[in-house]
């Protein structure tokens, strides 16, 4: 099972190697404004799923929110350690 740290390592590698067809590379190239819109969109979907959908649908939306947060982290060069010290 993939963890938050493993996803971060995977996305960091995508940013470095820029493989063809990577949605992450596309999202990084789209810039912080587009990344922020996606993050807010996913946050809204998490809220709606929490109100109206089953646990599995909610878990899916949360995974997408975590992904979008990581895209913003990697786009800005913010590390896991920088975030974890506030947890």
**Contact between 12 and ligand PRT (CB under 6 A)?**
no
Nearer to ligand PRT, 23 or 31 (CB): 23
Q: Dihedral angle at the C-alpha atoms of 6, 65, 82, 15, nearest 10 degrees?
A: 60
37-44 contacts at long range (C-beta below 8 A, 24 or more positions apart)? 38/68, 38/71, 39/65, 39/68, 39/69, 39/71, 39/72, 42/67, 42/68
**Contact between 22 and ligand PRT (CB under 6 A)?**
yes
Q: How far is the CB of 81 from ligand PRT (least distance, A)?
A: 21
Size of residue set near ligand PRT by CB under 6 A: 10
Q: Which stretch binds ligand PRT (CB under 6 A): 10-18, 29-37, 50-58, 74-82?
A: 10-18
Backbone angles phi, psi at 18, to 5 degrees: 45, 60
DSSP state of 78: -
Of residues 37-56, those binding ligand PRT (CB under 6 A): 41
Binding residues for ligand PRT, per CB under 6 A?
10-11, 14, 22-24, 41, 63-64, 67
């Amino acid at each position: 099972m993939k963890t938050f740290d493993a996803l971060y390592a995977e996305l960091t590698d995508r940013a470095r190697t820029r493989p063809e067809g990577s949605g992450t590379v596309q999202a990084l190239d789209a810039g912080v404004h587009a990344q922020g819109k996606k993050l807010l969109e996913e946050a809204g979907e998490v809220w709606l799923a929490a109100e109206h959908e089953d646990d599995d649908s909610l878990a899916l939306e949360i995974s997408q929110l975590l992904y979008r947060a990581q895209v913003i982290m990697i786009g800005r060069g913010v590390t896991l350690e920088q975030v974890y010290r506030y947890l």
